[in-house]
Amino acid sequence: MRASNAGDAAAYERLLTELTPALRAAARRGLNAAGLADTDAEDVVQETLLAIHLKRQTFDGNAPFGPWLAAIARHKMIDAWRRHGRRTKLPIDDFAEVLADGSAEPDLITADVSRHVESLPPSQRAAVRAIAIDGATIAEAAARLSMTSGAVRVALHRGLAGLARKFRTDTL
């Protein structure tokens, strides 16, 4: 790399030619380790070689070449992994028996939340239901509950704080 940065085109060509098999093997290992097909290895190799070409002026001639090259190759491998994401493709038919159906009874958390909301004082329960469950605004809840906006805020705050205390004591 030092000679190629000094203007030796033949040295640069030799460098890239000698690096290619090692980069290809590393790309295949990296893709296989991530569960990806090694058919994308050539893309990773080409992107790495292009990055080396574009960033060759950033190489410090006094520093070792290996770590600089490894950093570029690692970043290009990470880019390839990101392009593919962490997708696992499994046929859903294999899991039809174990997947929950849509008619299942409410889960325990929903039942637990409902039980705790019911235990709140009436004004707090109404404010929590209107705002946190039904999605009403403070003004809408105030009109619906015949309360002032400030009273709704206080009831909501106290109701949510009460629910938090109940959940903390139930889970400890």
Mean pLDDT, the chain, integer: 84
**Closest residue by Cα to residue 37 from 75, 89, 95:** 89
**What is the biggest distance separating any 2 CA atoms in the chain, rounded to whole angstroms?**
86
Does residue 90 come out as left (phi exceeding 0), alpha (psi in the -120 to 50 range) or beta? beta
User: What is the dotted CATH code of the domain comprising 108-171?
Assistant: 1.10.10.10
Residue 15 or residue 86, greater confidence: 15
pLDDT in tens, 69-78: 999 999 998 8
pLDDT in tens, 11-20: 989 999 999 9
Provide the CATH topology of domain 2-84: Rna Polymerase Sigma Factor; Chain: A (1.10.1740)
Query: Taking the domains of the chain in order of start, what are their residue ranges?
Result: 2-84, 108-171
**Per-residue confidence (pLDDT) for residue 88, from 0 to 100:** 56
